[in-house]
Structure 1
Amino acid sequence: MSELLKSIDARTKLAGSNKLEMLLFSLGKNELTGREETFGINVFKVREVMRIPEITRAPDMPPSVEGMVSLRGVLVPVVDLIKYVGIQNSKPPQIMIVTEYNGHTQGFLVEGVDTILRIDWSAMKVPPEMLTTQLGGLITAVTELKDGRIVMMMDVEKILAETSSYADDASIALLKPIPIPDRTIFFTDDSVVARKQIEKTLNALGISFIFSTNGKEAWEELQKIANRASATGQKVTDFIQLILTDIEMPEMDGYVLTRHVKSDPRFAGIPVLMHSSLSSDANQHLGRSVGVDGYVPKFEPQKLAETLARLLMSTRQPGT
């Protein structure tokens, strides 16, 4: 199993090439449907894969939270994904995938892991509405393998928001409007939970916004804005003053989107802020290498507010 994740740090070179690597895993055969679905998680977020260690049960936890485990002296919450997804499977989970999001470590219990799949983000498609509805918005992207299997990428941010205080709204309530009127930002994120958090934060700050749900859609919309500005003799900065982007998105990731924006002179003077749960130094370095003007971890509204205020103030025109 250690071979499965060997050289994981070296895989950072894939970022910025619109490619990703997913660790494929199974939650077992659903006894209600007779099907065994294949799920995926970005390798960047996986720290290790192991047999399930001893779990310490804790009272008053959500049904799918099994308890805590001690990993090298650190207590880590453990979520049973089989229970969370609602799969009827009499076999107990066998494997724990240890992940890191925004510096927070957690373990996910699954029946088994398969392999690591390298794929272009353009092959990851927005899930059909029927699938989204069936799984309660849990899937952010899907792709079909050569053997006909459908791989579904989980919205881990949604899982964490519903099983912990990961997306706590209390800090948003403390935010105050920024003293810069008539500011509009464009943001893109494929996670429903993340989009709601961003919207709440921007509303609290008094900032108008336009949004999209993936990188390709974002670039198409940004080009429309730029074309409209050119057609009316205006600048893009008359329409939007900042772009906020996630990293992991189907069809086009945030690195490639940023590169497109920074290479198009029509967007000169518009800062790009990267907003992601990929919290490693390597990811931040990659963001800087494609020209991002700042990096803020997800679900930290105070940091997001401070960074937005600073960047918007720096682009403020005299008299506005």
Structure 2
Amino acid sequence: MAGVLDSVNQRTQLVGQNRLELLLFRLRGRQIFGINVFKVKEVIQCPRLSSIPKSRSVVRGVASIRGETIPIIDLSLAIGMAPIPAEDLATSFVIITEYNRRTQGFLVTAVDRIMNMNWEDILPPPKGSGKDVYLTAVTKIDDKLIEIIDVEKILAEFSPLGETVAESVIQKSAAKSAERGAAYLPVLVVDDSSVARRQIERCLSAIGLEVVLKNDGKQALDYLKSLTADGSKATDHLAMVISDVEMPEMDGYTLVTRVKADPNMSGSFIMLHTSLSGIFNQAMVKKVGADDFMAKFSPDELAERVMDILSTERS
């Protein structure tokens, strides 16, 4: 166990060829869950928690960790299971993570190990699992089903981000569109989280852009190949691509590499838009050839950045 806990920080910089590392953990029961190590800052024994008056039940309290006050979320309760009993807190663990420019801790009962995986072995949740399921993907390890938590969905419910684009930004975007005198081509948005897709679609629709949605890198690459099968360029069909990094079957890094290597797609402007913020490796963005990077999720910032790109780089 100590080896797992000590190695988490060292492993957060992993960026491979369509690979990831999963931190495996348990809540209540025998089911094993996973979270990408790339979003984990550290794992600690559950510290002393201070209650927050009138806080939501999913927040078990706050803890002072390395000079920062961090909310501790009962992950079991957050995904619809029974809460972790108070008497189990002393033997439980907290996974400190950074998502969407925020730091929070997830309370779990046990931390198992770290597994190096290929994104091709990470699959979307089974069809028919429903919209309310808190899974972004599943995989199998040693013939056991591993459920990968959709953290963005959890955070959107207990601490929602603003999704409305400011009127001033909308007006500025309208002025730029009027100056151009022609409609922009659609924007391809690639993200495995239904919450993230909805957020980005609302943002871009608010500034008058048409959006094409795909759930992962493989779907996006297949779509781009279908557009360019007649010998045309991807830029004849799409204004730009906005892609998440972590996705089942094919991650964002691999998608960028494949697109930039194809003569009919290489001119595509690709922005990596990811919840990997503070620990994100900017050097990798340049290595794979991405054109831009933005940490999730600020609707005003995203809208303004996209309009700047379309009115300059893509005009």
Return the TM-score normalized by structure 1.
0.88
1:21 corresponds to which residue? 21
1:73 corresponds to which residue? 67
Task: Find the partner of 1:140 among 117, 136, 139.
Answer: 136
Matched-pair contact (CA < 8 Å) for 2:153–2:195: yes
Matched-pair contact (CA < 8 Å) for 2:242–2:271: yes
- 2:57 is matched by which residue type in structure 1? P
Aligned length, in residue pairs: 303
Provide the aligned C-alpha RMSD in A.
Answer: 2.0
How does 1:278-293 map onto structure 2 within 5 Å?
Answer: 278-280=276-278, 282-293=280-291
1:223 corresponds to which residue? 225
- 1:162 is matched by which residue type in structure 2? E
- State yes or no: 1:62 paired with 2:64: no
Matched-pair contact (CA < 8 Å) for 1:26–1:110: yes
Matched-pair contact (CA < 8 Å) for 2:98–2:278: no
Structure 2 residue matching 1:118: 3-state secondary structure? strand
Q: Residues 181-207 of structure 1, C-alpha deviation per residue, up to 9 Å, x if partnerless?
A: 323111100001101100110111111
Structure 1 residue matching 2:228: 3-state secondary structure? helix
Q: Do the aligned partners of residues 70 and 268 (structure 1) sit closer, same or farther apart at CA in structure 2, a change above 3 Å counting?
A: same
Query: Using the alignment, how far apart are the partners of 1:66 and 1:306 within structure 2?
Result: 37
Query: Using the alignment, how far apart are the partners of 2:53 and 2:168 within structure 1?
Result: 30
The runs of at least 4 aligned residues of structure 1 exceeding 6 Å deviation read: none
Matched-pair contact (CA < 8 Å) for 1:64–1:79: yes
- 1:87 is matched by which residue type in structure 2? M
- State yes or no: 1:46 paired with 2:65: no
Q: How far did 1:292 drift? A: 0.6
Q: Do the aligned partners of residues 173 and 98 (structure 1) sit closer, same or farther apart at CA in structure 2, a change above 3 Å counting?
A: farther
Structure 2: gaps of 5 or more residues:
178-182
- 2:77 is matched by which residue type in structure 1? K
How does 1:229-308 map onto structure 2 within 5 Å?
Answer: 230=231, 234-280=232-278, 282-308=280-306
Structure 1: gaps of 5 or more residues:
30-35
Q: Do the aligned partners of residues 62 and 249 (structure 1) sit closer, same or farther apart at CA in structure 2, a change above 3 Å counting?
A: same
Task: Find the partner of 2:105 among 88, 104, 107.
Answer: 107
Query: Using the alignment, how far apart are the partners of 1:227 and 1:72 within structure 2?
Result: 54
Structure 1 residue matching 2:17: 3-state secondary structure? coil
- State yes or no: 1:156 paired with 2:151: yes
Matched-pair contact (CA < 8 Å) for 1:274–1:294: yes
Query: Using the alignment, how far apart are the partners of 1:306 and 1:200 within structure 2?
Result: 14
Q: Do the aligned partners of residues 272 and 290 (structure 1) sit closer, same or farther apart at CA in structure 2, a change above 3 Å counting?
A: same
Q: Residues 224-253 of structure 1, C-alpha deviation per residue, up to 9 Å, x if partnerless?
A: 11114x2xxx43222101011000000000
2:94 corresponds to which residue? 96
2:114 corresponds to which residue? 116
Structure 1 residue matching 2:133: 3-state secondary structure? coil
- 1:61 is matched by which residue type in structure 2? S
Q: How far did 1:289 drift? A: 0.9
Query: Using the alignment, how far apart are the partners of 1:293 and 1:160 within structure 2?
Result: 28
Matched-pair contact (CA < 8 Å) for 1:132–1:138: no
Query: Using the alignment, how far apart are the partners of 1:90 and 1:3 within structure 2?
Result: 25
1:204 corresponds to which residue? 206
Q: How far did 1:57 drift? A: 1.0
